[in-house]
Structure 1
Amino acid sequence: MMKRIILIVLLFTGFAVKAQHNPDDQILSDNWDVVGGVDFKIVKDSEMYAVYTPEIKKHANKPFELEGYIVPIKDGMKQTKFMLSTLPINQCFYCGKNGVPIMVLVEMAEPIKFTYKTIVVKGTLKLNPGNAMDNPPISLVNAKSI
Structure 2
Amino acid sequence: MKKIFYLLLVFLGIGITANAQHNPDDLISSDNWNIIGTVDFRTPKETEMYAIFGSEIKKHENKPFELEGYIVPIKDGMQQTKFMLATLPINQCFYCGKDGIPIMVMVEMAKPIKFTYQTVKIKGNLKLFTGNSMDNPPITLTNSVLVN
Q: Fold-level match, TM-score > 0.5?
A: yes
Question: Would the alpha carbon gap of residues 68 and 74 (structure 1) be closer, same or farther in structure 2, given more than 3 Å must change?
Answer: same
Deviation, 1:100, is 4.7
Distance, in Å, in 2 between the alignment partners of 1:74 and 1:117 is 18
Spell out the pairing of 1:19-98 with structure 2 (5 A cutoff): 20-93=21-94
Give, in angstroms, the shift of residue 5 of structure 1: 5.6
Residue type of the alignment partner of 2:4:
R
Scaled by the length of structure 1, the TM-score of the pair is 0.84
Give yes or no for contact 1:121–1:145 (8 Å, CA) kept in 2.
yes
* 1:16 alignment counterpart: none
Count residues in correspondence: 134
Overall identity of the aligned pairs, in %: 69
Gaps of 5+ in 1: 11-18
Query: Aligned letter for 2:132?
Result: N
Partner residue, 1:140? 141
| Alpha carbons 1:92, 1:100 under 8 Å: kept | no
More helix by share: 2
Q: Distance in 1 between matches of 2:66 and 2:2?
A: 31
Aligned CA distance change for structure 1 residues 20 and 7 (closer, same or farther; 3 Å): same
Q: Which amino acid aligns with 1:7?
A: L
Rounded Cα–Cα distance in structure 1 between residues aligned with 2:129 and 2:116: 28
SS at match of 1:75: coil
Uncovered stretches (5+) of structure 2, i.e. residues with no partner: 11-19
Q: Tell me the alpha carbon deviations over residues 22-41 of structure 1, each in whole angstroms, 9 at most, x when there is no partner.
A: 11100000000000110001
Q: Distance in 2 between matches of 1:124 and 1:6?
A: 23
What root-mean-square deviation, in Å, do the aligned CA atoms of Structure 1 and Structure 2 show?
A: 2.2
Runs of 4+ in 1 over 2 A off after TM superposition: 1-10
Q: Deviations over 1:5-64 (max 9, x none)?
A: 643797xxxxxxxx9521110000000000011000101111110000110000000000
**TM-score, structure 2 as length reference:** 0.83
